[in-house]
Structure 1
Amino acid sequence: MSTAIAPSPTVEIASSDGYASIARGTMHGYYRVLFESGPVDAAAFAGFVGITVAESRRWLTEQLRLGLLRLVDPTSGEAAEVYLPGEFAPVLIDGRHSGELDSARRMLAQRADDLPEVLRTLWTESEHPAEHLSRGIARLWARMFAAAR
């Protein structure tokens, strides 16, 4: 007798969930808040962006799973503080003409090979990420809708 295992989400669906989570973060300015605030826990982030702590924890956890955020101290449990790695900021923040991202752009150029896979779909080495974020977001939405079909 075989035991039925509940199907896990397909890679496409999991990816579309990830893209939707990224789109939410870009649309609501969550990455900008993370960039400007430095390390935050779920409660602080919720206060900064005006959402519940439960929503904050859920979104931050999704971003950790996607590799877009990092834990300050992996042993801190529920009260963990997270931060947005500087090299990811030019891809996730629309700072087209902003000098504030110059050092982050240099870090991105040095560490482009280490980008999480989900960021590779938003940026390619043939385009400047901050100037062409809208193209990356368009690719994000196209992939999300294609995966949902």
Structure 2
Amino acid sequence: MRALLQRVSEASVTVDGAVTGRIGAGLLILVCAMKGDTEANADALVAKILKQRIFRDDAGKMNLSLLDTGGAALVVSQFTLAADTSRGTRPGFSAAAAPDDGRRLYDHTVARMAAQVPTETGIFGADMQVALVNSGPVTIWVEA
């Protein structure tokens, strides 16, 4: 599993003109299931994400996790995180999980995240518009 974390002061996802998810301070989490990933990979990814100390403490140091801050998560499926750009100018996506596996692992990831922090989502496979205010900016790549 792969994820791109963006520390945000706010973020939202819109599909067909309707907001499907909106958060204030927290993390926008773009998630991609890779071929061969399992629920164990998703669980490990969620554990890593929740423990990343990327929020500022009272001294201004990145020393707090999402769990420490009580922030929210906006989890958005994004198979393009599996892009292979090693050849040519058209990315390949053959490393991404098949759509049924991707949906199952995305849903599993969302459920695990929602069990621990307030969680909003996009819609798997939809054409989504994602808006965010990246705080910092802080953007972190995580794999499990």
Calculate the TM-score normalised by the size of structure 1: 0.29
- Whose relative contact order is higher, 1 or 2, with alpha carbons under 8 Å and at least 6 apart? 2
* Greater share of residues in helix: 1
Bigger CA radius of gyration: 1
* Greater share of residues in strand: 2
